[in-house]
Structure 1
Amino acid sequence: MGVLGKISLFTVFFSSFLIIPPVIPFNACSGIAWGAEIKSFGTDGQNGQSGQPGQNSQNADNMTIFSDGSPLTLNLAGRDGQSGQNGSNGETANCGNQPVNVRYNVQAPDGGNGGNGGNGGDGGNGGSLTIYATDPAYLRQIYVNAAGGKAGQPGQGGMGGQGCLCENPYWTIETCTGKPGDPDYRCTTAEFRCQNGRNGTNGLNGVAGREGLVGKLTLINLDKPLETDEPAATVTMATLKDKGYILSRNIWETRTGARALLASGSIIDDQYLALVERLERSFILVWNAPQSFQNFADQKISISLENNQGIKVDLPQDLWIEGTTQQQKNFTQFIVYNAMRSQDATQLESQGLLGNRRDLKLTLVDKANQSNLIATKFKISYRTTQSDPRFRPVSDYTTKYEGEIPEDLISLDGNKFTINVGQLPINDRDLRSGLGVEIKLVGTRSFAGYTAEQTITVREVLGPFK
């Protein structure tokens, strides 16, 4: 280590007065400047090496057994964590020889710092045990050691090495100018010092590892492997109709007293998990709809087992179904009475206007032919213009009527709607031949709780009555 930052106050004496140089605070990066040159001697001791940390131990393997009452001893203990290594000691400084009667200050060498101790490794967790046993008395024949491994001990920090002490802490040197007896003859005396070396600092002790966790018990009152949960599924309608589907859920309960169930002296977490019940519920799709099932066979339905043990049905957004769910003890039926795709609700198409004045009618055709299932209501906006709106955009429309169309002005014949526009409260002059009109219909179509809207716009010039 260098000498900067190690020298305290020094003084320089002259024959007629005392000079005290300024003391500059310690700065480990830039050092300090003495009033005279500073040189070090000897060699600083090397720092000690830090100890290696102890390795963490692996967790013990988990185990599953089927108990028939036979005595059994199981070692599921986690292994202990390894201890951290000690840090090595710092080396003692090599002092060498202190320079004598020199015209500069000197710094003795420092001892090396001790290395830090390594941290201890973590102990491994004890293995968890799953026991299938149909008789609780069988458990008394099973001794289990599922203790967690002990924590690894920390390494100790190394001792710091000794620094060197100055043999001669200070000395003076006289300097004269001129000849004795001459008026300009002057002598001055300067003092120089030696700074002792610093002892190395002791290394830090490591930190102990973590104790391993004790293993846990899971108890299953069955004599065959427990099947996994399947509380939800997404399945095609064809599968649900032809085969049905079984949803399941295992019901668990956290209890205390695991050690009392096992052989005396067993080491295991006292809280354990016990299977209370396995729920299995069947689901089937019953197709009582007049529509062909083949048009819907590939559609997928999501089903899920709820907390009340019933089955919830989630249909895709593009599928409109009229149906009902019938829940029995372990069996659920989903009965479909009618079905359609959502896009079939918005397949209305204008067939144009017919007549004028009070006999003006607008005809629509349902291209999906679903109007026998769907309830339909219409709103209308009736606007007129002096221009011909059929071939170019028109900006001078004037609204003559807006509102819902009464049901008695709408007739349905198969898939054909006829709307008696001329019977709406519109002035005769706004229904005359040769007048440009824009009719905007908004159809609201509803089926089994589903709703969709479709907007149809017709632009024509009213002609003579046909």
Structure 2
Amino acid sequence: GGRGGRGGVGALGCRCRVSSWEVQTCTGTPGQADYRCQTSRYVCQDGYDGATGNVGQDGQPGRDGQLRLVNQLEPLQPENLVQTVPLPRLTAEPLWLSRNLWAPSAGANALLAPGSRVNDSYWEYTGRVEGAIRLDWQAARPLPSLAAASMTAAIQEDGGLSATFSDDIWAEYTTQRHGQAMTVIVTNAVRSQDATRLAWGGLQSNGPALKAIVLDLAGESAYLDTQFRVTLKTSTDDPRDDRRPRYTTVYEGTLTANQVTLASNRFELALGQLPLEGHTLRPGTYAILDITATRSLGANSAQQSLSWQGQI
């Protein structure tokens, strides 16, 4: 390694041309009662000279070179190990991936001319694997509406192929392998941000017919699996009184399929059908309702919470 450089000489500190001075500041009108003057005194001190820098450290010895042996006359073809491409491109043409294969070995110095010095461990080229990935779009949603989404494809040393969708899309898919080619068959897909666009829609009816309404603002409920977990608390106290009302949890659990109705993009949660005492949800009761919606598609899942507090 190289020798460390010498430290630089510190610069001279600044010098004051005037060591002290006074400045008078006046307000008001001369000759009038509001006229006032104030004198401020300022002092300048010479700056300190800079310190000389330290001598730099010597560099470390370099490492031995690494040998890669290609025992053939033809030059190696370029690799394409990993690539990210827009989804529409994969439906138009397959994406070809490739990887050069190397095996570790020892005794590199014995292969070279006397006096040569390299790392004795080396890599020897043993061959190449290739594969192609294509996309078969069978989802109801048109692919152009998801044109911003992409897929990252990769090839492994054993020739295995993998495909990962970008975070802005949820996809339900299967894969089929035929020789060197793998086809990704998408049967359902939504934008990931649309999975958590639920909104509170209010309460409807009363008694056994009482329902909580949850709206799907993105309109994706036909493509997503949605489960609701609710926590319902009620109070016999009146929040308008001076003291803070005390709420009691009367139900907590995941709603069954027959307790949830989907009409277009509107969920109706049958609160009136919960196993509660008859007077629990009578009109005028003060309540707190916490809803946790779990939405999933394929291997993707997300939760969204909604809360309501008021009088039934």
TM-score, structure 2 normalization: 0.68
Higher strand share: 2
C-alpha contact 1:382 1:439 (8 A) present in aligned 2: yes
| 1:104-253 superposed matches below 5 A | 218-223=69-74, 225-253=75-103
Amino acid at match of 1:411: T
Amino acid at match of 1:346: T
2-side partners of 1:424 and 1:396: how far apart?
A: 22
Report the CA distance between 1:394 and its aligned residue: 6.3
C-alpha contact 1:388 1:461 (8 A) present in aligned 2: no
2-side partners of 1:261 and 1:409: how far apart?
A: 76
Amino acid at match of 2:69: T
**Counterpart in the other structure of 1:379:** 229
Amino acid at match of 2:148: D
Report the CA distance between 1:258 and its aligned residue: 9.0
**Counterpart in the other structure of 2:285:** 435
Q: Which of 287, 299, 314 lines up with 2:149 in the alignment?
A: 299
1-side partners of 2:171 and 2:254: how far apart?
A: 28
Amino acid at match of 2:125: L
Q: Which has the larger radius of gyration?
A: 1
C-alpha contact 1:221 1:275 (8 A) present in aligned 2: no
Amino acid at match of 1:421: L
- How many equivalent pairs are there? 246
**Counterpart in the other structure of 2:140:** 290
Amino acid at match of 1:219: V
Over 3 Å counting, the alpha-carbon distance change for 1:244 and 1:423 in structure 2 is same
State the superposition RMSD in angstroms.
3.3
Over 3 Å counting, the alpha-carbon distance change for 1:247 and 1:310 in structure 2 is same
Unaligned runs of at least 5 residues, structure 2: 3-60
Report the CA distance between 1:311 and its aligned residue: 0.9
Deviations 1:320-373 (A, max 9, x none): 111112222221211211111222222222221112222211122211222122
Report the CA distance between 1:240 and its aligned residue: 2.4
Over 3 Å counting, the alpha-carbon distance change for 1:274 and 1:407 in structure 2 is closer
Report the CA distance between 1:283 and its aligned residue: 1.6
C-alpha contact 1:290 1:338 (8 A) present in aligned 2: yes
Q: Does 1:351 align with 2:201?
A: yes
Q: Identity over aligned residues, as a percent? A: 30
2-side partners of 1:433 and 1:271: how far apart?
A: 82
2-side partners of 1:416 and 1:323: how far apart?
A: 27
Q: Secondary structure at the match of 1:430?
A: coil
Report the CA distance between 1:291 and its aligned residue: 0.7
Report the CA distance between 1:293 and its aligned residue: 0.8
**Counterpart in the other structure of 1:171:** none
TM-score, structure 1 normalization: 0.47
2-side partners of 1:285 and 1:258: how far apart?
A: 44
Q: Which of 325, 342, 361 lines up with 2:175 in the alignment?
A: 325
C-alpha contact 2:129 2:158 (8 A) present in aligned 1: no
1-side partners of 2:271 and 2:146: how far apart?
A: 38
